[in-house]
Amino acid sequence: MSTTDYDTIDFFQPGPLYQNPYPYYEYLREHGPVWREPHHGVLMVTGYAECVEVYRDSVTYSNCALMAGPFAQWPVPLEGDDISEIIEQYRDRLPLSDQLVTFDPPKHTAHRALLARLITPKRLKENEDFLWQLADRQIDTFLDRGECEFLRDYATPFTLLAVADLLGVPQEYHEEFLQKLQSKQTDHSADNRGKVEHKPLEYLYQRFTSFIEDRRRQPRADVLTSLAAATFSDGTLPEVHDVMVLASGLFAAGHETTVRLLGVMFQFLGERPELQQLLRHERDRIPNFIEECLRLGTPIQADFRLARVATTLGGVAVPPGTSVMVIPAAANRDPRQFDNPNELRVDRTNARQHVAFGSGIHGCAGAPLARTEARISAERLLDRMADIRISEKAHGPAGARRYKYPQTYIVRGVERLHLEFSPQQPSRAKAAT
Amino acid sequence: MRVVVDLELCGGHGVCEREAPEIFRVVDSPDGYAHAEVLLEQPPEELRTRAKMAERQCPNQAIRIED
């Protein structure tokens, strides 16, 4: 595509750019690490250092319009030297205003602390045995066919049950969770703009409200009870609503994103047989391979911040009320930070420095869980599926693949991934370590 | 100044390593859960700003800079 086309295309309208936005990010980067795009006046941040700077500064930049960005419906114009009062007055009307991701300090600090002991290495280790079993059970459902639609048959149910287990949802509810939450994911469509569909969230809200109320009445020795009993740092007990919203948010945040990550991983493995072989024989390379998949695939491509006061970023003036689009997908390919940024290198020494999980106070709380799910999935799938190939019937031949991506600038990942493979002799339990 | 990392809270994000690489490094552990290692438990005064920034920016608030 010629540069002229990028000048006229509005990135925020549904269109072909979403099938591969990376050339568009390079077009942005040519104008500088921070650049005001001409259609909506959004400051587009593609530079690594500049993205980190925004993440660092939760005083200047508010998360209130995280999803809606420039399309947020403010009842008054965002005018003045400091728009904080306007933000505080109207932020509750914006999408996801009851979710941690849109909070700012001090409220953010207090609520984030409730999560503190929930996704710790200790808890994750308890969760890990279940994850190995879950991976195997899920693989059992399709292995004999020698082919699968990877997202539907493995990634979606696996990630959903993984987070359900972490949150302590009792086993007897797992089937219901699967049914209610599998079909419709959060709708980030470009033509919805500020309006985000959340039917699965309603179901979660109902369920978690009743779980938490129950555990507060009758504590048990389970995770849901710890969640229900968690206090703010001053010792006060949160409202049931606050805890319920947190648990539901974790669920929603941790599900689709990890599905996308698994998709990226197996897209790479299906496309690169030599990489597959390398990882089969050198399992200790898997963690860094996962980091490279996060860097290059970045499931949450971008989100928005709102400048409360005037500042500068990357030498560009940022007036109060400016929507700033932080683009980790682009930052993750900044040549100032990553040599040969478009290449997947399992031996890249600074692969973990990617910002696919964000950074700073809003840095993804579920990152350790996502990494664990990815690692365990890679291990078992490589154990039990040999010669994993991309289905030519579904996706065309190598070099001329057809993959479909959703119409959104927020989330990235193939919608379907058809794989073929040779089932290996199913070896059951992972060797105890 | 003393640097303390609560390993029960640390999620291995690596923000600290980026803010103050002289003080923090993310390392893998045998069980697969990467975490922050403190390279300088008592860093020199000139690293105070960086140490405090790491404390503030840790997504899991796992770092304490004690005086």
- Short-list A123, A114, A134, CA closest to A212: A114
CB atoms B34 and A119 under 8 Å:
no
* Alpha carbon of A409: minimum distance to chain B alpha carbons (Å): 25
B14 touches chain A (CB under 8 A): yes
pLDDT tens profile A260-274? 999 999 999 999 999
pLDDT at residue number A191: 47
The answer, yes or no, to whether residue B55 has pLDDT greater than 70, is yes
Nearest alpha-carbon partner for A45 in A321, A338, A326, A323:
A326
Q: Nearest C-alpha of chain B: how many angstroms from A108?
A: 11
| C-alpha angle A340-A341-A345 in degrees, rounded to nearest 5 | 75
pLDDT tens per residue across span A299-339: 999 999 999 999 999 999 999 999 999 999 999 999 999 99
pLDDT on residue A171: 87
- The residues in B 27-66 lying below 8 A from A, measured between CB atoms, are 28, 31-35, 53, 56-57, 59-61
User: How close B55 comes to chain A (CA, Å)?
Assistant: 10
The pTM for the full model equals 0.93
Scanning A16-45 for CB atoms below 8 A from B yields none
Q: What percent of chain B has pLDDT above 90?
A: 82
The ipTM value here is 0.93
Structural domains for chain A:
3-423 (1.10.630.10)
Q: Domain B2-66, what architecture?
A: 2-Layer Sandwich (3.30)
Residue ranges for chain A with pLDDT beneath 50:
186-187, 189, 191-197, 429-433
| CB-CB contact of A308 with A335 (8 Å) | no
The pLDDT of residue A429 is 46
Residue A173 DSSP symbol? G
Please list every residue in chain B whose beta carbon sits closer than 8 Å to the beta carbon of residue A125: 31, 33
User: Measured between CB atoms, does A118 come within 8 Å of chain B?
Assistant: no
| Annotated domain spans of chain B | 2-66
Place of tokens 């370590």: A433
- Choose the closest CB to A116 out of B17, B18, B60: B60
Q: How far is A198 from chain B (nearest CA, A)?
A: 26
Q: How confident is the model over A125-139, as pLDDT tens digits?
A: 877 889 999 999 999
Q: Is A417 on the interface with B (CB under 8 A)?
A: no
Q: What is the pLDDT of residue B33?
A: 84
